[in-house]
Amino acid sequence: MSAQSPAEQPWELWYWPGMKGRGEYVRLVFEEAGVPYKDMGQSAGLAGIVEWVWKGGNTGFPVRAPPAVRRGDFTLSGTPVLMAYLGRQFGLMPTDPEEAAHVEQLLAVVTDGVGEGRLAFHPKDFYASHKTQVEESAPYIEQYGKQRLPKYMSYWEEVLTKNPHQSGFLVGKDISVADLAVYQYMAAAQQHYRRWYDDVEAPAAKAHQARIAARPRLAAYLASPRCPPWDSDSMM
């Protein structure tokens, strides 16, 4: 039997087991595209992810941190980079170069928003569990909820309402990885900053969130046991 070509080999997602985290952004791309993948955290476990990322298990291009993908000898990491790359592979990026650049701009803004939102839960020690700094984090969580979250949600609102195609998507006429990233940002904000999320007037952004969640493949995934639970430790 001949060896599989790279295009025939399965995609693997390498991310921590049992949590959405940044890996969820990448899962949503596979799920919306209907592309099979192996969620390696479920089979390799925490030790297997550590071994592959940092202890020599990965023999391909070096990976800095999860999430990462592998297919054959090809490896890639970095959430917005992964989303843009897979979006091009799976038809979830605009073919127009300017629209594609705008999608990547939105991926970068989501990355900033998630980073800020996570930091608020870890003001004393960015690398320690939120459970070790619950009291210290309270004012920072409130600050993000009151001051920063409305700015991000208002930005999604502006992008949606100013799309010249009025397609209901963020960029161009069709769904892109930007829609998946902004959906997950909104869902995480609703989960972890609910009291402030509910107060923000962003009808277009909230309607967009609901539409993306209702797409058939995503709705099936979100209702399935393959969908990990929310992390209680931060905006993940």
181 class by beta-carbon count within 10 Å (0-12 exposed, 13-18 middle, 19+ buried): buried
Contact 124, 133 (CB under 8 A): yes
Contact 68, 125 (CB under 8 A): no
Q: Kindly report, residue by residue over 77-121, the tens digit of the pLDDT.
A: 999 999 999 999 999 999 999 999 999 999 999 999 999 999 999
The pLDDT assigned to 7 comes to 63
The pLDDT assigned to 164 comes to 97
pLDDT at 187 over 60: yes
Mean pLDDT of 125-141: 94
The pLDDT assigned to 195 comes to 95
Q: Can you tell me the distance from the alpha carbon of 20 to that of 9, in angstroms, rounded to the nearest whole number?
A: 25
Q: Which CATH number does 11-90 carry?
A: 3.40.30.10
Q: Kindly report, residue by residue over 6-31, the tens digit of the pLDDT.
A: 567 899 999 999 999 999 999 999 99
Q: Can you tell me the distance from the alpha carbon of 197 to that of 209, in angstroms, rounded to the nearest whole number?
A: 12
Is beta strand 11-14 parallel, antiparallel or unpaired with respect to 37-39? parallel
Q: Can you tell me the distance from the alpha carbon of 170 to that of 166, in angstroms, rounded to the nearest whole number?
A: 9
Give the C-alpha distances (Å, rounded to integers) separating 87 from 139, 152, 187, 201, 210.
Answer: 37, 23, 20, 30, 21
**DSSP readout, 160-206?**
HHH-TT--SSSSSSS--HHHHHHHHHHHHHHHHSHHHHTTS--HHHH
Q: Can you tell me the distance from the alpha carbon of 75 to that of 157, in angstroms, rounded to the nearest whole number?
A: 35
Contact 77, 66 (CB under 8 A): yes
DSSP 130: G
pLDDT at 234 over 90: no
Contact 235, 190 (CB under 8 A): no
**Per-domain residue ranges for the chain?**
11-90, 97-223
Q: What is the pTM of this model?
A: 0.95
The pLDDT assigned to 1 comes to 43
The pLDDT assigned to 5 comes to 56
Mean pLDDT of 28-56: 97
Contact 217, 1 (CB under 8 A): no
CATH architecture of the domain formed by 97-223: Up-down Bundle (1.20)
